[in-house]
Amino acid sequence: MTDLVVLNDISRTYQKGKERVEVLHKLDLTIEDGDFLALMGPSGSGKTTLLNLLGGLDKPTSGTVRVGDSALHSMSSGQLSRWRARHVGFIFQFYNLLPVLTAQKNVELPLLLTNLGSKERAKRATTALSIVGLEDRASHYPRELSGGQEQRVAIARAIVSDPTLLLCDEPTGDLDRETADEILQLLQALNRDHGKTIIMVTHDGRAAEYAKHTLHMDKGTLTAELAA
C-alpha cells in the first residue's frame, strides 16, 4: 500500500469575535490508498473540519495537506475547486438531491463540470446507479424514493466521476438501523471491490465497525486507534 493522504502538523483556528478558537491542534495523519477509515469523537472535536481539509473545502492555518501528488495547503481557491471536482466525492447525512431532477440527472450533476458530452454523462450515471443497485430507479424523482434509495443516489453521484477519495459525513445518521447497515455494506463494497479510499465521520460505533480502521478525535487531536 502507498500513502495517499499525508497531513503534517495541521492546525486550524477561527476568529470568533475577539477570541481565537483552535479546532485542530498540530495534527498528523497518514491514510493509505484503499483504506476505509472511520473518524469518531464528540461534537466539536474537529471531525468535520478535518474532513473539509481533506476535501479541499478549507485550508489549514498552518501545516501541510497532501493527497497524492497534490499540495492542497498551497492551492488557490480556483485550483482547489478544480481539484475537488476531479478527486473528491462527498456523501452527507442529508442527501442534497435536487427534487426537480430524476435520479439519473442528479447523478449526472458533477459531470457538468467536465468536458464530457451528454451521451457519455448519461452512460457514466447509468453505470454509477447500477453499482449502487438503482439502475431501475433512474427515472424516479427523489420524492418517489425511500430514504435509503435517496442515499444510494447520493452515493452514485459521489462516485460518478471516479474520485480518488470518498468523504462521508454521518452518511447513515438519518436512516433506520436496517437501512443504515445496507448503506454501510455498500460503502464496504466500494472499498473492497472498487478500491475506493473512504474516510467516514460518524458518532455510531456500529457504523465504525464497517471500516478497516477507527481513529478517535478529541479537542482537535487524534487519540489512540480503537479496535477496527
> How confident is the model at residue 199, as a pLDDT?
94
> How confident is the model at residue 92, as a pLDDT?
81
Q: Which residue has the higher pLDDT, 149 or 1?
A: 149
Specify the pTM: 0.86
> How confident is the model at residue 24, as a pLDDT?
85
> How confident is the model at residue 224, as a pLDDT?
59
- Is the pLDDT at 228 greater than 60? The verdict is no
pLDDT band at 160 (very low <50, low <70, confident <90, very high): confident
Give tens-digit pLDDT for 166-203: 999 888 877 788 888 888 988 898 899 888 999 999 88
> What are the domain boundaries of the chain?
3-222
Q: What is the CATH number of domain 3-222?
A: 3.40.50.300
- Is the pLDDT at 225 greater than 60? The verdict is no
Mean pLDDT, residues 69-96: 85
Give tens-digit pLDDT for 109-120: 888 877 788 888
| DSSP H or E segment with residue 205 | helix 205-208
> How confident is the model at residue 135, as a pLDDT?
86
Question: Of 31, 34, 77, 70, which Cα lies nearest the Cα of 51?
Answer: 31
Mean pLDDT of all residues belonging to the chain: 86
Give tens-digit pLDDT for 67-76: 988 888 888 8
Question: What's the 3-state SS for 64-132?
Answer: EEEECCEEHHHCCHHHHHHHHHHHEEEEECCCCCCCCCCHHHHHHHHHHHCCCCHHHHHHHHHHHHHHC
Please state the separation of Cα 161 from the chain's center in Å: 13
- Is the pLDDT at 23 greater than 90? The verdict is no
